[in-house]
Copies of this chain bind each other. A is one copy, B any other.
Amino acid sequence: MAGESLVALAERLGDLCREHGLTAATAESCTGGLVADAITDVAGASRYFLGGVVAYADRAKTVQLGVGPELIASHGAVSAQVARAMAAGVRERFGADVAVAVTGIAGPGGGSEAKPIGLTYIAVADHDGVDVRRHLWSGDRAANKLASATAALELLLERIVTTASAGAVGASGGDEA
């Protein structure tokens, strides 16, 4: 079972998905399934969570998520470009309304000067497009996984709330016009 703070975020995700009639999917590299695990700790998650891909190997990113091999070759698996493609890919493949993707270097190996341990990109996709954020965590492997999973759920929640309130304003404006 995922930690309490993660599960609290996952419960909030469940509330929002039910409230707005949304389905969700996940694409995870460095978090390795922790985001999906937290989401599915919530009873009734099958009503809005369609599933996800743990794409550790590059081949998993291309075959399961449709990330272009040239994108990985040009920018590296840990990049804003690949995070965006993972989020858009998992959303399309699973037929979900919203999707979140995480790619990063959890450590202790795999870091470089250009891409240090803790570097993580998190992307969120919905019908309006894809956004990506860059993080640089300073913990050990377990702490970096947890920080990334927390940030992924937070970004997903933020996007749903923002889109929902923008939709409400738009509808209200239309009524007034």
A residues touching B (Cβ–Cβ < 8 Å)?
Answer: 1-3, 26, 28, 30-37, 39-41, 43-46, 49-57, 59-60, 63-64, 93-95, 106-110, 141-142, 145-146
Nearest chain-B residue to A50 (Cβ)? B57
A46 touches B40 (CB 8 A): no
Residues of B within 8 A of A43 (CB): 107-109, 141
Q: How far is the CA of A22 from the CA of B167 in the complex (A)?
A: 50
Q: How far is the CA of A60 from the CA of B94 in the complex (A)?
A: 6
Interface contacts beyond A32-B49, A36-B36: sample of 17 additional A-B pairs, CB < 8 Å, sorted by A = A1-B3, A1-B146, A26-B33, A32-B33, A32-B36, A32-B40, A32-B41, A33-B40, A33-B52, A33-B54, A34-B37, A37-B37, A51-B53, A51-B54, A52-B54, A53-B64, A64-B94
Q: How far is the CA of A72 from the CA of B3 in the complex (A)?
A: 33
Residues of B within 8 A of A33 (CB): 26, 28, 32-37, 40, 52, 54
